[in-house]
Structure 1
Amino acid sequence: MLRDDLRRALLDSIQIELPNEFLKTWLLDSNEGKISQEEIEQDYDKFAEDLRWTLIRNRVAEDADVKVEYAEVLERTRDMVRGQFGFAGNEGGDDSMKDVIDRVAVGYLNDKTKPENFTNQFNRVYTDNVMDVIREKAPVVTQAIDAESFKAKAEQG
């Protein structure tokens, strides 16, 4: 929830004017009949918000010189594989199981038929690293709430 709150606070406080009509035309042209003008109109606000967030996130990354190393991407992928095998955190069974986890993680990242695997994991690590920078700089106000209020807030979004 903190992550979503920080994202929302930045989006609300940083005004970025987008060339909306140009972007709508670009979306229509670049998707070559896969999406209609009506769908663009319906989904444009979400697209524009995501674009604004990407611009903000990239600026924070640039200003803070955020880097992503392959080792971070591999460790994130190992975590994903451990989760699929039912392991929590860094636990991963014996050495032979750790070798299996490593092979699966490396294979997942290097799958030539799914290059988006590496890109998706890289982007998750990149966003996490940027959010770490934002968390360090953002004033965080802690407030006590009861379980029902927490549940309602979590369900909101």
Structure 2
Amino acid sequence: KRVVEVPFEDVFPLESGESCDSDLEGDSGSEEEDDVVAIRQAEIISRSLLNPVPSQRLGDWEKHTKGMGSRIMQKMGYVVGAGLGCRGEGIVVPIGAQVLPQGRSLDYCMQLREKANGDADLFSVEKKLMREKRIQEKRDAQESARRKGRKDVFSFINSDILGND
């Protein structure tokens, strides 16, 4: 077994100027490595210029928060418009966060999504289902009132002839 001691900066880069590949031999000052780092940064920048502009800014949801996630990513060397990863080959478009109805289970949310048939707004589907439920309850109440108001032979005999309510 061989134990190698690695500086913390190689495991978790703290400055944006450091490369993402760690060199265990300690020759970080050589010109070749500086050239490699410069070439990689140039490739990342050229990829970011060639990639289509996403519809929303990365971290756009952070305008209501302190924006810690974007700050950490920038300190770790992220270039806006480039892909994720040390070579910038990862995804460019962020995965959107979806707000789900509060107090509902994931199964319920999945049922809403199936009923939405691809509609992105689950709240409108839930409101539509609640509206349909209220309409059905009103119809049931009207039907019940109509049944109570209807006189049949037995209610006629009980109320009018026998005098019982």
TM-score, normalising length from structure 1? 0.26
For the pair shown, the structure with the greater C-alpha radius of gyration is 2
Q: Which has the higher helix share?
A: 1
Flag the structure with more relative contact order, 1 or 2, with Cα contacts below 8 A and sequence separation at least 6: 1
TM-score, normalising length from structure 2? 0.25
